């Protein structure tokens, strides 16, 4: 059973990328140092660069996993012990989560070490904290062991920053960048958190419940003679082109339309506009929003409306229609790509339209969120400094660590080990300073009897008064000293 449950297939991330998995099973009775080294050599020969040690019920007894980790570290091979990532049962899911963590371990270790070195060279001595995907922060030493906890930390930072400004209770937030938008939920004043799904597989990675879509401020247009086919997922940033919205209108001279593939294998109907001098730019969602006058000057997405209209006019002439029609088609396509996600999240979290707000963060928020608000009939809000809100969110986030564990038939001792009991109050408490009189006072509090009437329900308090004399509570004497 354990052999079958720990044997993973490759984890497919997208059409071209996957995490290659090699499996070796070592029975517990054969878990000696010599056998561990032999298995590690077999995995290295197959092409493994990092290791995962996972054992059935390893959350209860992690000794064998620790033994494998010890040998791997002696061999200078990065390793993840599954029981260090999560304390939850579910062998296959726990092993998969550890495999994802191990796959990014070498790159994240390099990133963490170089970042830490740069910070220390700058003379900064305070602890270096890293954003987590669940909205908290952790020390960089913890990130070196469990980098997978940083998954979706970008949108998490934006959400935490926006909550500080907006005090939103219920809403759907859109973190709109240049290439992608992250869409999630704020429920009862807190971001919705769930276990992440990677490559179609459930994991034990706790992070914001976020949907990622290739529809953002810089998404380019795909078109033909009949009009706009789609927006994105490729963006002007990927193609290395300027937005029409941020192009000086005086430089737009006799442009003509060209269709191209931003990357090898992409459709060849993405729109590019080329001036008579050979310089090129493109049309994006931001350009369409500005052409329709939807972006207020105070927002980061605000651009030159004249440039937007001149650029879109070229495509409108090609399609034998108007600038307004093409711009509206673009915005409709942009909304169509998020409408299903919006409806799914509303249903999943049972959000009421009249009590919900669309929260826009990120540099491209003002290009899309106002239009989405108009289509859904839900009010929207874009916080101050939305384009840098993630930095604010990181700076103001709290240190967090979450340990989840399943304890079947827990005893009192099991519960105490998870949450230690508070220390008993001393009979002579430490003195405190009274700021109003500048004298030290030893503060004493009444000790409640087990049968005191304050600790009983109302019905039982009445019974106590009828059948028993009232017990007198005792109070320690109050002492003061100059």
Higher pLDDT, 390 or 261: 261
Average pLDDT estimate for 380-400 = 77
Instruction: Report if residue 214 sits inside a domain.
Output: yes
Is 269 strand, coil or helix? Answer: coil
Q: Tokens 């070592």 correspond to what residue?
A: 26
Q: Of 88, 109, 126, which one is at a domain's C-terminal end?
A: 126
H or E stretch including 380?
A: strand 380-381
Which tokens hold the place of 271? Answer: 């729109």
Q: Tokens 């930095």 correspond to what residue?
A: 391
Distance CA(473)–CA(130), nearest Å, equals: 50
Say yes or no to pLDDT of 398 above 50. Answer: yes
Burial 214-246 (b: 16+ CB within 10 A, else e): ebbbbbbbbbeeebbebbbbbbbbbbebbbbbb
Question: What pLDDT does 430 receive?
Answer: 43
Average pLDDT, the chain: 80
How buried is 68 (Cβ within 10 angstroms: 0-12 exposed, 13-18 middle, 19+ buried)? buried
Average pLDDT estimate for 335-362 = 89
How far from the centroid of its chain's Cα atoms is residue 26's Cα?
Answer: 36
> Do 74 and 135 lie in a common domain?
no
> Do 184 and 323 lie in a common domain?
yes
Distance CA(3)–CA(56), nearest Å, equals: 9
> Do 147 and 28 lie in a common domain?
no
Distance CA(45)–CA(39), nearest Å, equals: 10
> Do 310 and 184 lie in a common domain?
yes
> Do 264 and 337 lie in a common domain?
yes
Say yes or no to pLDDT of 401 above 80. Answer: no
Strand duo 201-208 + 211-213: pairing: unpaired
Average pLDDT estimate for 475-479 = 44
Is 358 strand, coil or helix? Answer: strand
Instruction: Report if residue 240 sits inside a domain.
Output: yes
- Planar angle of CA 416, 417, 420, nearest 5 degrees: 60
> Do 218 and 329 lie in a common domain?
yes
167 — pLDDT class (breaks 50, 70, 90): low
* Three-state SS letters, 372-428: HHHHHCCCEECCCCHHHHHHHHHHHCCECCCCCECCCCCCHHHHHHHCCCCCCCCCC
Higher pLDDT, 216 or 58: 216
Say yes or no to pLDDT of 312 above 90. Answer: yes
Question: What pLDDT does 139 receive?
Answer: 85
Per the CB < 8 A criterion, the answer to whether 294 and 324 are in contact is no
Higher pLDDT, 179 or 451: 179
Say yes or no to pLDDT of 170 above 60. Answer: yes
Which tokens hold the place of 201? Answer: 């597989």
Which tokens hold the place of 23? Answer: 């499996």
Instruction: Report if residue 448 sits inside a domain.
Output: yes
CA distances from 467 to 209, 450, 456, 479 (A): 56, 17, 15, 37
Q: What percentage of residues in the chain have a pLDDT greater than 90? A: 32
Say yes or no to pLDDT of 441 above 70. Answer: no
Instruction: Report if residue 426 sits inside a domain.
Output: no
> Do 340 and 469 lie in a common domain?
no
How far from the centroid of its chain's Cα atoms is residue 43's Cα?
Answer: 33
Maximum average pLDDT range among 163-167, 260-264, 420-424: 260-264
> Do 191 and 117 lie in a common domain?
no
Q: What percentage of residues in the chain have a pLDDT greater than 70? A: 81
Say yes or no to pLDDT of 315 above 80. Answer: yes
| Full domain range(s) for residue 162 | 129-421
Q: Of 93, 126, 159, which one is at a domain's C-terminal end?
A: 126
Lowest mean pLDDT among 173-187, 230-244, 319-333, 443-457: 443-457
Question: What pLDDT does 271 receive?
Answer: 95
Say yes or no to pLDDT of 460 above 90. Answer: no
Q: Tokens 């179609």 correspond to what residue?
A: 200
Instruction: Report if residue 207 sits inside a domain.
Output: yes
Say yes or no to pLDDT of 323 above 50. Answer: yes
Lowest mean pLDDT among 39-43, 415-419, 455-459: 455-459
Per the CB < 8 A criterion, the answer to whether 287 and 243 are in contact is yes
Domain count, the chain: 3
Lowest mean pLDDT among 15-19, 124-128, 326-330: 15-19
> Do 72 and 163 lie in a common domain?
no
Interval 233-277: pLDDT, tens: 999 999 999 999 999 999 999 999 999 999 988 999 999 999 999
Interval 63-105: pLDDT, tens: 888 888 888 888 888 888 888 888 778 888 888 888 888 888 8
Question: What pLDDT does 162 receive?
Answer: 74
Question: What pLDDT does 408 receive?
Answer: 67
> Do 24 and 64 lie in a common domain?
yes
> Do 405 and 461 lie in a common domain?
no
Instruction: Report if residue 234 sits inside a domain.
Output: yes
Compute how many other C-beta atoms are within 10 angstroms of the C-beta atom of residue 406: 10
Instruction: Report if residue 427 sits inside a domain.
Output: no
Taking the alpha carbons of 78, 84, 85, 89 in that order, is the dihedral positive or negative?
positive
> Do 68 and 210 lie in a common domain?
no
* Selection from 103, 46, 45, 113 nearest residue 78 by Cα: 103
- Give the full edge-to-edge strand order of the sheet including 432-434: 432-434, 439-442, 479-481
Say yes or no to pLDDT of 418 above 80. Answer: no
Instruction: Report if residue 309 sits inside a domain.
Output: yes
Q: Of 78, 98, 126, which one is at a domain's C-terminal end?
A: 126
Write the CATH number for 389: 3.30.420
Residues 6+ apart with CB under 8 A from 413: none
Question: What pLDDT does 462 receive?
Answer: 43
């Amino acid at each position: 059973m354990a052999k079958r449950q720990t044997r993973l297939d490759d984890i497919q991330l997208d059409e071209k990328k996957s995490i290659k998995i090699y499996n070796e099973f070592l029975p517990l009775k054969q878990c000696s140092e010599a056998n561990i080294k032999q298995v590690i050599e077999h995995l290295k020969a197959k092409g493994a660069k990092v290791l995962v040690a996972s054992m059935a019920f390893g959350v209860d007894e992690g000794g064998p996993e620790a033994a494998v980790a010890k040998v791997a570290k002696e061999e200078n091979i990065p390793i993840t012990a599954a029981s260090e990532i999560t304390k939850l049962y579910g062998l296959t899911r726990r092993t998969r989560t550890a495999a994802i963590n191990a796959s990014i371990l070498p790159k994240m270790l390099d990133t963490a070490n170089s970042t830490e070195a740069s910070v220390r060279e700058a003379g900064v001595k305070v602890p270096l904290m890293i954003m987590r995907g669940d909205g908290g922060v952790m020390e960089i030493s913890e990130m070196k062991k469990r980098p997978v906890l940083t998954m979706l930390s970008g949108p998490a930072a934006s959400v935490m920053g926006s909550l500080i400004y907006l005090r939103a209770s219920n809403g759907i937030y859109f973190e709109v960048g240049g290439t992608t938008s992250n869409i999630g939920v704020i429920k009862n004043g807190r971001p919705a958190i769930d276990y992440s799904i990677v490559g179609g597989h459930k994991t034990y990675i706790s992070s914001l419940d976020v949907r990622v879509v290739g529809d953002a401020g810089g998404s380019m247009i795909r078109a033909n003679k009949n009009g706009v086919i789609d927006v994105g997922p490729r963006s002007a940033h990927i193609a290395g082109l300027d937005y029409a919205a941020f192009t000086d209108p005086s430089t737009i001279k006799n442009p003509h339309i060209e269709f191209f593939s931003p990357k090898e294998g992409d459709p060849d109907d993405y729109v590019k506009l080329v001036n008579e001098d050979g310089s090129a730019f493109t049309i994006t969602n931001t350009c369409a929003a500005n052409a329709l006058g939807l972006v207020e000057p105070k927002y980061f997405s605000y651009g030159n409306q004249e440039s937007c209209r001149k650029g879109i006019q070229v495509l409108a002439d090609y399609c034998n229609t108007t600038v307004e029609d093409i711009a509206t088609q673009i915005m409709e396509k942009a909304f169509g790509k998020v409408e299903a996600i919006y409806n799914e999240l509303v249903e999943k979290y049972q959000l009421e339209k009249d009590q919900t707000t669309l929260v826009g963060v990120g540099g491209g928020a003002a290009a899309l969120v106002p239009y989405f608000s108009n289509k859904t009939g839900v009010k929207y809000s874009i916080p101050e400094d939305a384009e840098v809100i993630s930095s604010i969110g990181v700076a103001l986030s709290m240190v967090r660590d979450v340990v989840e564990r399943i304890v079947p038939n827990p005893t009192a001792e099991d519960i105490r080990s998870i949450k230690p009991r508070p220390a008993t109050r001393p009979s002579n408490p430490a003195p405190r300073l009274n700021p109003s009189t500048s004298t030290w006072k030893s503060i004493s509090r009444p000790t409640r009897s087990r049968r005191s009437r304050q600790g009983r329900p109302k019905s039982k308090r009445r019974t106590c008064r009828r059948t028993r004399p009232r017990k007198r509570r005792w109070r320690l004497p109050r002492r003061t000293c100059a």
